[in-house]
Chains A and B, each alone.
Chain A
Amino acid sequence: EREREGEREREREREEREREGEGEGERGEREREGERGRERERERERGREGEREREREREGEGERGREREGEREREREREREGERERGREGERERGREREGEKERGREKERGREREGEREREREIERERERERESEESEVRPESLSPEELEMLKEAVYERKKLVQGLRGKPWPMKEKLVTLRESQEFVEKYEGALGKGKGRKIYAYKVMMSKKWMKFQRDFENFKTACIPWEMKIKEIESHFGSSVASYFIFLRWMYGINMILFCLTFGLVMVPEALMGRPYGTIPRKTVPRAEAASAMDFAVLWDFGGYAQYSVLFYGYYNNQRAIGWLKFRMPLSYFLVGVGTVAYSYMVVIRTMARNANESGVGDDNSFNFSWKMFTSWDYLIGNPETADNKFASITTSFKEAILEEQESCKDDNIHLTRFLRVLANFLVLCCLAGSGYLIYFVVRRSQKFALEGLETHTWWERNEVNMVMSLLGMFCPMLFDVISALENYHPRVALQWQLGRIFALFLGNLYTFIIALMDEINLKREEEKIIKFNITMWEASLYNATGSENSTALPVTFHPADVPRGPCWETMVGQEFVRLIISDTMTTYITLLIGDFLRAVLVRFLNYCWCWDLEAGFPSYSEFDVSGNVLGLIFNQGMIWMGAFYAPCLPALNVLRLHVSMYLQCWAVMCCNVPQERVFKASGSNNFYMAMLLVILFLSTLPAIYTIVTIPPSFDCGPFSGKKRMFDVIQETLESDFPAWFSKVFSYASNPGLVLPFILLMVLAIYYLQSTSKSYKEANVDLKKKLQTVPETRLSFFSHLAPLLLLLCAFGYTGIKFAV
């Protein structure tokens, strides 16, 4: 059928060529004859064409020729379909357009058959002659009816679409240039003509604006790519180490971008307004260093610990005043604080999910394992490698992976001594669980001890005892993964599976540590709240004593003057939480950098210089240079971000700190990688797609916002510090804003919307929608499998049709399935 279509197509071409040869007048006549006459001629031609087709086939164009024709057919089909929809009235216009397109089609055909450039130039000249002829007999645009104008506009529009799609066509540049220039000429000629009809001013204006818009878009894209930082650094790393190591740095850069946005939000909407428009330092009790601490408030040790002046500044929650509107702008500070907190979380969710969606779309269904060998063959070479040493490593790793895959395939039935392996694996998992439990208990113990120390007064203890918690957490994070590595030697898994287990265990370790830390923190919060009640009582006593001292003369209210530094202060638990997180982040950063310097740099220096006087070859043997641990570093980055998300509500300075930290990390690690690391010998990614790390990030985001949300919703804020002081719950600020700042009907609508009677059916509806989407995706999957089976059982004679069309159908189904699966 398709061949017949192709024949019909070629007949029409010959027809056009004939028509031209006969001249203008006869062309009009021929058109007036009508379709039937053309059909009769086509039948006559078909015979001749069939012969010519068979000849060409016999020449042996091969599959590729047919495929290219198929592509061309599809293109022409598309163009033809657009034309067929229009009526017969604009046929003269269509005729001229079709000529141009068919000429180009014929040109492309001949180009592919490689008859040579001379032919093409001859064609171009011939076409130019024909265009000149057509120009002479050009129809005045005013004499065209509106429908013809419309059709002309559509033709121009289609031509523009063709130009836009040109860069995705696998033609040589010369052909693309020719097509581009001709299309542009056509568009200019007819756009100019169109512009003379009715509504020409608006049309011309639209055309000019769309041209300017496209130019602006292109310039903006160029500008955006020029703005991306560290591009050259990453490219150098890519060429030396391959794309898996570079993917860590690309991830780091992406995180940097997110933290930049979070920093702008917190800095611009929370820290700056309070600093500029709020009451200055020293005016109210919460903004002043208490008298007792004032002596040591400027010490470096205290500042490094984020006490003293650092504590009583915009960096922490406790500084903010609970005044509803500040400054001449009437900036709603408490509302802004709350909304920024919610907004950072919402923005992070949006960005992570959007990136996951984009990755899922681009890479198809990543968890399909049915193409192992083909993928190893076709996609394992990393074209970014530009360094011969890396290339050699890559060759070796590819060979190893081939050999291993072949062995696995052969040995998949062999199953020696499964009981021993199973026992060993159970033992290994038990050991790992013991490790995790041990580390959790250690952290809990250390946190309780530090509480005890705090009660006794921090100055009486050594530096280690003061920073115990953070050091213990960082050290655990460094040594436990090595322990897991050793234990996993018992398990005897395939390296990729072993890597996944390893990552899972490290994930569990970090998570466990973090949550133990939070639980310990909760205990401290409760302690502080108990303390608060006592302080409140003390304050009433103190105020009473003040009044007594100065108010013995008058019984009416007196202006009691006291210095803000003297007021007894409540233990602001929110600031305490913020401080803990900041200290944790700082010690984590320090540990990472020191490990980097000692573990990588010092080791490399030792191996390099001791090698001259050592008995065995240090470079090839035991220590040798270290490899860059991609997955470990990515996990570290993800957990670091989790801590930021957890603490950002109580310490608005955290995103700023993180931006600084990531900036320094980028330069330090780039230098360390290029200087001290060697390319990996075996490249095993944890999972093929980037989505694995994105999924972990999403889980961490969810898990780290849970504690913050819990504290916001259940614990009442401190009575004398922070923007929510004096309220019963922190989110009461929303209620207050709704009542006072919005018109009355708004709060009524809101109260209706939050009615359980409305929310429950909505949730039910969403559950039903999810169920529906799930079942649709299942049915697409089954259709996919069916089509595949059909493709394999189809007899050989019909193969040429299927082999082109059905994989397309399969691809379409696969994309549909992916889309639905993702939406679910």
Chain B
Amino acid sequence: MGTTASQLGKDLLSEYQELTFLTKQEILLAHKRFTELLTKDEKDLPNTRVPAERILTLPELKSNPFRKRICHVFSTSEQKDGSLTFEDFLDLLSAFSDSATLEIKSHYAFRIFDFDDDGTLDCGDLEKLVNCLTGETDETRLTTEEMRQLINNILEESDIDKDGTVNLSEFQHVISRSPDFVSSFKIVL
């Protein structure tokens, strides 16, 4: 298993095509971009893991406020450091591709927004989410009062069972009604 230095085997390529929503050209392009991130000696090893800092230099991810969470969610490393192998990278691209289904997009969106990885979106997660969306500088942040109001409104709309958190089913219910979600939750190399 694993990718060899410069070429993807034909069998592996067709298996990846079977298992992701990407076309053959997209997989080959992903492979090319991924190997550009590797150093000279890493290129010879199969199944290398690229640390998160290097992944975050990709232009598609550089300006994204959720870039660190994305790397964390798709990473299968034991140290939970956000490093990605090529297969993790393909998983990422497949979930963000144009032909991915709503279910898989909403599943991963939920995991990305769940900052503390506890399976629900509680007030802390929502607050961090809003802070990510409003940018880093102080003048763009919301005041505490506005934040509280906002989170109350959101919980009022989405929390159906009134337990103070948004779980996966409630999240998927909200997202499935949104007309913009599928078209904005896209990353294309």
Taking CB atoms, residues of chain A closer than 8 Å to B169 are 67, 803-804, 807-808
With A172-B76, A386-B59, A388-B62 in contact, is A222–B108 under 8 Å at CB? no
**A689: Cβ under 8 A from any B Cβ:** yes
Cα–Cα, bound, A811→B142 (Å): 33
Cα–Cα, bound, A429→B114 (Å): 48
Cβ of B140 and Cβ of A395 under 8 Å apart? yes
Taking CB atoms, residues of chain A closer than 8 Å to B173 are 807, 810-811
Most chain A CB inside 10 Å of its own CB: which residue of B91, B95, B149, B180: B180
Taking CB atoms, residues of chain A closer than 8 Å to B149 are 406, 409-410
With A173-B88, A373-B153, A395-B133 in contact, is A180–B174 under 8 Å at CB? no
B14 → chain A closest CB, angstroms: 8
Residue B186 contacts which of A362, A384, A390 (CB distance < 8 angstroms)?
A: A384
Cβ of B182 and Cβ of A363 under 8 Å apart? yes
With A222-B24, A379-B185 in contact, is A399–B177 under 8 Å at CB? no
Cα–Cα, bound, A62→B66 (Å): 24
**Which residues in window 758-796 of A have CB below 8 A to B?**
788, 791-792, 794, 796
Cα–Cα, bound, A327→B94 (Å): 55
Cβ of B178 and Cβ of A177 under 8 Å apart? no
**Which residues in window 475-507 of A have CB below 8 A to B?**
none
Select the stretch in B36-44, B48-56, B154-162 that faces chain A: B154-162
Most chain A CB inside 10 Å of its own CB: which residue of B66, B104, B169, B185: B169
Taking CB atoms, residues of chain A closer than 8 Å to B109 are 378
Residue A402 contacts which of B17, B103, B113, B142 (CB distance < 8 angstroms)?
A: B142
Taking CB atoms, residues of chain B closer than 8 Å to A166 are 18-19
Residues 350-379 of chain A, each 1 if its beta carbon lies under 8 Å from chain B, else 0? 000000000000111110101111110111
With A174-B76, A377-B133, A388-B62 in contact, is A814–B185 under 8 Å at CB? no
**A391: Cβ under 8 A from any B Cβ:** yes
Cβ of B91 and Cβ of A383 under 8 Å apart? no
Cβ of A180 and Cβ of B18 under 8 Å apart? yes
**B35: Cβ under 8 A from any A Cβ:** no
Cβ of B87 and Cβ of A366 under 8 Å apart? no
**Which residues in window 208-248 of A have CB below 8 A to B?**
218, 221-222, 225-226, 235, 238-239, 243, 247
Cβ of A373 and Cβ of B63 under 8 Å apart? no
- The count of residues in chain B whose C-beta lies closer than 8 Å to any C-beta of chain A is 79
Cα–Cα, bound, A398→B180 (Å): 15
Cβ of A377 and Cβ of B91 under 8 Å apart? no
Cβ of A177 and Cβ of B168 under 8 Å apart? no
B97 → chain A closest CB, angstroms: 10
Cβ of A814 and Cβ of B19 under 8 Å apart? no
**B101: Cβ under 8 A from any A Cβ:** yes
With A166-B19, A180-B18, A384-B188 in contact, is A403–B142 under 8 Å at CB? yes
Taking CB atoms, residues of chain A closer than 8 Å to B178 are 363-364, 371, 375, 378-379, 688
Cβ of A63 and Cβ of B167 under 8 Å apart? yes
Residues 61-89 of chain B, each 1 if its beta carbon lies under 8 Å from chain A, else 0? 01111100000000010100000000110
Closest residue of chain A to B65 (Cβ to Cβ) is A381
**B184: Cβ under 8 A from any A Cβ:** yes
Cβ of A173 and Cβ of B64 under 8 Å apart? no
Cα–Cα, bound, A77→B1 (Å): 31
Taking CB atoms, residues of chain B closer than 8 Å to A421 are none
B91 → chain A closest CB, angstroms: 5
Cα–Cα, bound, A167→B157 (Å): 32
Closest residue of chain B to A166 (Cβ to Cβ) is B19
With A63-B167, A372-B157 in contact, is A167–B20 under 8 Å at CB? yes
**B46: Cβ under 8 A from any A Cβ:** no
Cβ of A243 and Cβ of B183 under 8 Å apart? yes
Taking CB atoms, residues of chain B closer than 8 Å to A688 are 178-180
With A64-B119, A167-B94 in contact, is A373–B150 under 8 Å at CB? yes
Cβ of B134 and Cβ of A383 under 8 Å apart? no
**B129: Cβ under 8 A from any A Cβ:** yes
Cα–Cα, bound, A177→B119 (Å): 25
**A544: Cβ under 8 A from any B Cβ:** no
Cβ of A387 and Cβ of B63 under 8 Å apart? yes
Residue A383 contacts which of B20, B135, B142, B187 (CB distance < 8 angstroms)?
A: B187
Taking CB atoms, residues of chain A closer than 8 Å to B7 are none
Cβ of B118 and Cβ of A396 under 8 Å apart? no
With A225-B23, A409-B149, A803-B169 in contact, is A374–B65 under 8 Å at CB? no
Cβ of B181 and Cβ of A167 under 8 Å apart? no
Taking CB atoms, residues of chain B closer than 8 Å to A606 are none
Cα–Cα, bound, A181→B133 (Å): 41
**B33: Cβ under 8 A from any A Cβ:** no
Taking CB atoms, residues of chain B closer than 8 Å to A169 are 104
With A384-B184, A807-B169 in contact, is A371–B142 under 8 Å at CB? no
Closest residue of chain B to A224 (Cβ to Cβ) is B23
Cβ of A399 and Cβ of B135 under 8 Å apart? yes
**A163: Cβ under 8 A from any B Cβ:** yes
A432 → chain B closest CB, angstroms: 29
Cα–Cα, bound, A67→B167 (Å): 10
Cβ of B161 and Cβ of A791 under 8 Å apart? yes
Taking CB atoms, residues of chain B closer than 8 Å to A65 are 119
Cβ of A374 and Cβ of B185 under 8 Å apart? no
Taking CB atoms, residues of chain B closer than 8 Å to A363 are 178-179, 182
**A757: Cβ under 8 A from any B Cβ:** no
A123 → chain B closest CB, angstroms: 16
Cα–Cα, bound, A63→B23 (Å): 35
Cα–Cα, bound, A106→B180 (Å): 38
Cα–Cα, bound, A689→B183 (Å): 10
With A63-B119, A384-B187 in contact, is A399–B134 under 8 Å at CB? yes
Q: Which 5 A-B pairs have the closest CB atoms?
A: A64-B119, A395-B135, A173-B87, A391-B63, A363-B179
Q: With contacts A169-B104, A381-B184, A791-B161 known, what are 5 further pairs, Cβ within 8 A?
A: A218-B17, A374-B158, A399-B142, A794-B161, A799-B163
| Listed A/B pairs (17) with beta-carbon separation below 8 Å | A167-B21, A173-B19, A177-B15, A235-B188, A239-B59, A243-B183, A371-B174, A377-B133, A377-B154, A379-B185, A395-B65, A396-B135, A406-B146, A409-B153, A688-B178, A802-B161, A807-B173
